[in-house]
C-alpha cells in the first residue's frame, strides 16, 4: 500500500525542532519529500539526520526576504514545484505591555506576521491545483494571557490570513487552513522563563487550566498538520483546527 503523500513535495518552516520537526517527520513517513528551514545550521543537520530520508535543509530566516527567495530558488531547482507549505516558523518573547519596547514588538511581528505572509506569497508561483497551505497559529490568538500581547496578535494574524487566502486561492485549487496548538512540550517553552523554577511553576499553571490536564506532544500537532495538509481534509479550507487540550473550546 502506497503512502498517501507519495510524489508530493512539502516545505516546513522552522522544521529543525519541536512541532516543525515532528510535522516534517510525519510528512516524510506519509511519502512526501520535505524541505525544512531554520536559522541554526547545527539544529538543521541534527533534524536531517533524525528524519533520515527524503529531506533537504535550507538555512535561513523567514524575516529575511532574501533568505526566502533563496529558499524557493532551491526548491524550484531541485523539485520544480511545491504541493504543501507548513508555515510553522515563529518566535515567542514574553513582555507585559507596560514593559514592551518597539524593538520587542518589531521582532515578534517581523518574524511571525510579516515572515509568514511572505513565506506564503513567495511559495505561490510553485503551487498548483491540489496544493495545501497550513498555518501554525496558537490558542492564544483568541484567549488572553498576560505578557503575550504581541505574540498573540501575530497568531491572530494567522487566522485572518487563512480566511483571505482561502478565498483568494480557491480558484487555483489551493486550500488554506490553520492549526492552533495549545501548550506543547517543545524547546521553545524554555525560552519563556528565566529559570528552571519559573519554568516548573509556569508549566504547573498551564496544566491547571488545560481540561485534559497535560501538555500536548509535538507528534499530536503533527497529526493535525498532516490531516490539513493531505487529501484527508480535501473538502476543508479556511478552517482553524484547535488542538489545545480543550482550553479554548470548553
Annotated active-site residue in 72, 117, 148, 151: 151
In the chain, what is the straight-line distance between the N-terminal and C-terminal CA atoms, in Å? 39
Closest C-alpha to 138, from 192, 195, 84: 192
Residue among 235, 229, 240 nearest 30 (CA): 229
Backbone angles phi and psi of 96, in degrees to 5: -60, 150
Q: Using the 8-state DSSP alphabet, how is residue 109 labeled?
A: I
State yes or no: is 151 an active-site residue.
Answer: yes
Q: Which three cell numbers stand for residue 120?
A: 506564503
38-47 CB contacts, 8 Å cutoff, 24+ apart: 38/13, 38/14, 38/89, 40/16, 43/16, 43/17, 44/15, 44/16, 46/16, 47/15, 47/16, 47/17, 47/21
**Catalytic residue ranges:** 151
Amino acid at each position: 500500500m502506497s503512502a498517501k503523500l507519495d510524489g508530493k513535495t512539502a516545505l516546513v518552516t522552522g522544521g529543525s525542532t519541536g512541532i516543525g520537526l515532528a510535522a516534517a517527520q510525519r510528512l516524510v513517513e506519509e511519502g512526501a519529500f520535505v524541505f525544512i528551514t531554520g536559522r541554526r545550521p547545527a539544529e538543521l543537520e541534527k533534524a536531517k539526520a533524525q528524519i533520515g530520508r527524503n529531506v533537504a535543509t535550507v538555512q535561513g530566516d523567514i524575516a529575511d526576504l532574501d533568505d526566502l527567495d533563496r529558499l524557493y530558488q532551491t526548491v524550484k531547482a531541485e523539485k520544480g514545484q511545491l504541493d504543501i507549505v507548513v508555515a510553522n516558523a515563529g518566535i515567542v518573547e514574553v513582555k507585559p505591555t507596560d514593559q514592551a519596547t518597539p524593538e520587542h514588538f518589531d521582532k515578534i511581528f517581523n518574524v511571525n506576521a510579516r515572515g509568514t505572509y511572505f513565506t506564503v506569497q513567495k511559495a505561490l508561483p510553485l503551487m498548483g491545483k491540489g496544493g495545501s497551505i497550513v498555518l501554525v497559529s496558537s490558542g492564544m490568538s483568541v484567549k488572553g494571557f498576560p505578557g503575550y500581547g504581541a505574540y498573540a496578535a501575530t497568531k491572530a494574524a494567522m487566522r485572518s490570513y487563512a480566511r483571505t487566502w482561502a478565498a483568494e486561492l480557491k480558484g487555483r485549487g489551493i486550500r488554506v487552513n490553520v492549526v492552533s496548538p495549545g501548550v506543547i512540550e517543545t524547546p521553545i517553552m524554555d525560552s519563556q522563563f528565566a529559570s528552571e523554577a519559573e519554568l516548573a511553576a509556569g508549566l504547573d499553571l498551564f496544566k491547571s487550566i488545560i481540561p485534559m490536564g497535560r501538555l500536548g506532544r509535538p507528534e499530536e500537532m503533527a497529526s493535525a498538520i498532516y490531516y490539513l495538509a493531505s487529501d484527508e481534509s480535501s473538502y476543508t479550507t479556511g478552517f482553524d483546527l484547535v488542538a489545545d487540550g480543550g482550553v479554548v473550546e470548553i
